[in-house]
Amino acid sequence: MAKSDFRKFVPEMGKAFHFGLTHKQFYDAVIPARGENERTGVAKLLSTPFKGVTTDGNIVPGLFELKPEAAPTRAILDAVLALLTQLNPEQKKKVFLPLDSRQRQLWQNSIVRYEDFGLRLDEVPSILKETAMAVVRASLSAAGYEKTRNLMKLNGFLGDLVGAPKLLGEWCYQLHVFGEPSATEPWGWQLSGHHLIITCFILGEQITLTPTFMGAEPRRVDEGRYAGTVVFEDEEFLGLQFARNLSAEQKQKAVFSETLIADQLPPGRHQGNDGMSFGGRYKDNAVVPYEGVSGAELRPQQRQALLDLTRCYLSALPAGPFAARMDEVERHLLKTHFCWAGGMGEDNGFYYRIQSPVVMIEFDHHKGVVLNNPTPEKFHVHTIVRTPNGNDYGMDLLRLHYETAPHHKVAHQHHRDKL
């Protein structure tokens, strides 16, 4: 398919459902149909203790550890403290939430805003936008920050395509901080909005960045001030190349479907608005069994290719944490599984999942949501990265911190003595 073929699926100007709407108007328009499902999803999530994504409902213990990883914690702390000085009291109340708040679990890849917390970047002056994004920049690699900004620009491009710049804009995102920013104690931040959710947990010199959701519709800007902006080229190319290079026997194990069309799949396989992905919104405790071909069944060159593909998704991390995550991935490479759905031709949409004890990655081509393509096309992409077995949101590191930090151990002992 030609790189600009999304154009034939762009609604005529003025005819898109989203045309001219603000976030409030869009919310009022969709809440009658979506509100009950949304409330049910939130209620279920908040009434269920966090466990994490597993393969069978049971956490694999001992996978994560507290250790220095040379995270740029001082730079991140300086950036967030600079943001703090620019916020008024009302903004501070919405932006800075307690460490144990569960609001960061309420992320969802939707145009409509259901949340009433965080700093809305499209509603503040440019200087405050820049200060907020400096927190994100300090926390990510250069490549990770560039990709983040490109996704925001692509969202603005989508808004321009359908005449909805106030609803789908470059700055239609929100930032909130959970916990008290510290060089040694646990805290973090989350940037969220349409096609972009990054959850950053910081503990001393360690950083985690999951759950992370990144997507684009379309994934390339073909005209205007951001012309040439494109995302997911490596994720798509290397994923397809890896699948094509599997042997016939390996493909037989890896490919579970030759289609992504919902009504042509077995019940429970397609996830509705989440497409083929099992790790979407409100799925913090999803049970996702391994399937496909395992690392133990791959040749050495194929194992290296799988590592190279995984790097595409973890490279948003700064250098030290990135090296640490890749080391974890490599240690579990033989237990890593790769599965695939869809075709392997140049124009075919597809889905793949990379899953191990320490990472779960999903890549999915989607049908139109704002654009009109009725079936999945390669210009609409969703990706999700999660840390299974309890370390999404840095939860397992937080548990270890509470169990081992001397000041927390004293507090826990004092609590037990009073019982």
Provide the number of structural domains found in the chain: 2
Instruction: Tell which of 226, 245, 267 closes a domain.
Output: 226
Instruction: For residues 64 and 196, state if they share a domain.
Output: yes
73 falls within a domain: yes
Instruction: For residues 83 and 202, state if they share a domain.
Output: yes
Instruction: For residues 286 and 179, state if they share a domain.
Output: no
Instruction: For residues 62 and 132, state if they share a domain.
Output: yes
177 falls within a domain: yes
413 falls within a domain: no
- In this structure, what token pair is assigned to residue 41? 């999803």
Instruction: For residues 98 and 175, state if they share a domain.
Output: yes
Each of the 419 residues of the chain gets a pLDDT tens digit; together they read: 445 589 999 999 999 999 999 999 999 999 999 999 999 999 999 999 999 999 999 999 999 999 999 999 999 999 999 999 999 999 999 999 999 999 999 999 989 988 889 999 999 999 999 999 999 999 999 999 999 999 999 999 999 999 999 999 999 999 999 999 999 999 999 999 999 999 999 999 999 999 999 999 999 999 999 999 999 999 999 999 999 999 999 999 999 999 999 999 999 999 999 999 999 999 999 999 999 999 999 999 999 999 999 999 999 999 999 999 999 999 999 999 999 999 999 999 999 999 999 999 999 999 999 999 999 999 999 999 999 999 999 999 999 999 998 877 655 454 444 43
Instruction: For residues 256 and 379, state if they share a domain.
Output: yes
Instruction: For residues 120 and 238, state if they share a domain.
Output: no
Instruction: For residues 218 and 244, state if they share a domain.
Output: no
Instruction: Tell which of 226, 246, 272 closes a domain.
Output: 226
pLDDT value of residue 368? 96
92 falls within a domain: yes
Instruction: For residues 11 and 139, state if they share a domain.
Output: yes
179 falls within a domain: yes
410 falls within a domain: no
408 falls within a domain: no
Instruction: Tell which of 198, 226, 254 closes a domain.
Output: 226
| Owning domain of residue 366 | 233-393
Instruction: For residues 262 and 358, state if they share a domain.
Output: yes
Instruction: For residues 181 and 246, state if they share a domain.
Output: no
Instruction: For residues 279 and 371, state if they share a domain.
Output: yes
248 falls within a domain: yes
